[in-house]
């Protein structure tokens, strides 16, 4: 017992419990090892690297799936579907995900009118597929590839094409370039491949 007395409170001076001291030392050692591992020897992946590793893994897995999948479609191989099942599925997907921005009749609101001849990112099944897949994130059109399979994107893109020329009431004024079907073999516009997820260190 120490000779301290504060308003009747006395103090003992027990030794620090050894497990406590050693625990404290251990955490200090941990701190140095951790910092050295990540920042001195750089043996551990920092977040950008971790991110890139994860993205690479996902890309590899996606590639492997493409090879396995019979009905896989890509921007190069896609064709418009016209079976009632496919178009019905496309309509369902549109109603669930796209109506908020493109309107129930595809006349456009936040997003552009999808029924006219004018396309900001190019018309035709290939361009439409590509926009839906990759999005135009800077303009508010998100990339749907993490939520819809290529097959589903093909279905919804095909559904959009069936509405061409439907001229819904209250549709938005045309935006973009007039698209003529003949140019279908033209190279895909690459302005749409804005990828907001690339992280660079300046």
Partner 1 sequence: MTIEKFSYDNRIVKNFALATIIWGIVGMLMGLIIALQIPFPGLNIGEYLTFGRVRPVHTNAIIFAFVGNGIFMGLYYSLQRLCKARMFSDGLSKFHFWGWQSIIVLAAVTLLTGHTTGKEYAELEWPIDILIAVVWVAFAINMFGTIIKRRERHMYVAIWFYIATVVTVAVLHIVNSIEIPVSILKSYSAYAGVQDALVQWWYGHNAVAFFLTTPYLGLMYYFVPKAANRPVYSYRLSIIHFWALIFLYIWAGPHHLLYSSLPDWAQSLGTVFSIMLLAPSWGGMINGLLTLRGAWDRVREDVVLKFMVVAITAYGMSTFEGPMLSLKSVNAISHFTDWTIAHVHIGGLGWNGMLTFGILYWLIPRIYKTNLYSAKLASFHFWIATLGILFYAVPMYWAGFTQSLMWKEFTADGILKYPNFLETVTQLMPMYKLRALGGAMFLTGAIVMTYNLVKTMKQGTLNAEEAAEAPALEKNEKEHGGHWHRWIERRPVQMIVISAVVILIGGIVEFIPTFLVQSNIPTIESVKPTLHWNCKEEIFISVKVVTLVTHKWCDLSVPKLNAMVNIPKQESLYMIIHSNGDRSEQVRTYIVKEENIQMYGITII
| Residue ranges in contact with partner 1 by CB under 8 A | 1-2, 4, 6-17, 20, 23-24, 27-28, 30-31, 34-35, 38-39, 46-48, 58, 61-62, 65, 100-101, 109-110, 137-140, 145-149, 194-202
169 contact, one of partner 1, ligand HEC, none, CB 5-8 Å limit per kind = none
Q: Which residues bind ligand HEC (CB under 6 A)?
A: 94, 97-98, 100-102, 110-112, 114, 119-121, 128, 131-132, 136, 139-141, 144, 156, 160, 176
According to DSSP, the residues that pair with 141 across neighbouring strands are 136
* Rounded distance between C-alpha atoms, residue 158 and residue 91, angstroms: 9
Whether the Cβ atoms of residue 201 and residue 48 lie closer than 8 Å to each other:
yes
176 contact, one of ligand HEC, partner 1, none, CB 5-8 Å limit per kind = ligand HEC
Residue-by-residue DSSP string for 86-113: HHHHHHHHHHHHTHHHH-TTS--SSSPP
Q: Which is nearer to ligand HEC, 72 or 145 (CB)?
A: 145
Q: Which is nearer to partner 1, 100 or 184 (CB)?
A: 100
């Amino acid at each position: 017992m120490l000779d301290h007395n504060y308003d009747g409170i006395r103090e003992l001076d027990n030794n620090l419990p050894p497990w406590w001291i050693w625990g404290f030392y251990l955490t200090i050692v941990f701190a140095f090892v951790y910092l050295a591992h990540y920042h001195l020897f750089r043996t551990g992946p920092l977040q950008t690297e971790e991110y890139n590793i994860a993205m690479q893994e996902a890309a590899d897995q996606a590639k492997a799936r493409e090879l396995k999948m019979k009905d896989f479609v890509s921007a190069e191989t896609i064709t418009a579907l016209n079976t009632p099942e496919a178009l019905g599925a496309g309509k369902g997907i549109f109603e669930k995900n796209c109506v908020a921005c493109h309107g129930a009749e595809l006349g456009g609101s936040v997003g552009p009118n999808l029924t006219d001849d004018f396309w900001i990112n190019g018309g035709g099944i290939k361009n439409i597929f590509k926009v839906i897949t990759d999005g135009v994130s800077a303009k508010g059109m998100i990339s749907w590839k993490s939520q819809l399979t290529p097959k589903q994107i093909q279905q919804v893109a095909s559904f959009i094409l069936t509405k061409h020329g439907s001229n819904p009431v209250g549709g938005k004024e045309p935006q973009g370039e007039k698209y003529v079907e003949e140019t279908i073999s033209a190279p895909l516009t690459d302005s749409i491949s804005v990828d907001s997820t690339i992280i660079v260190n300046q």
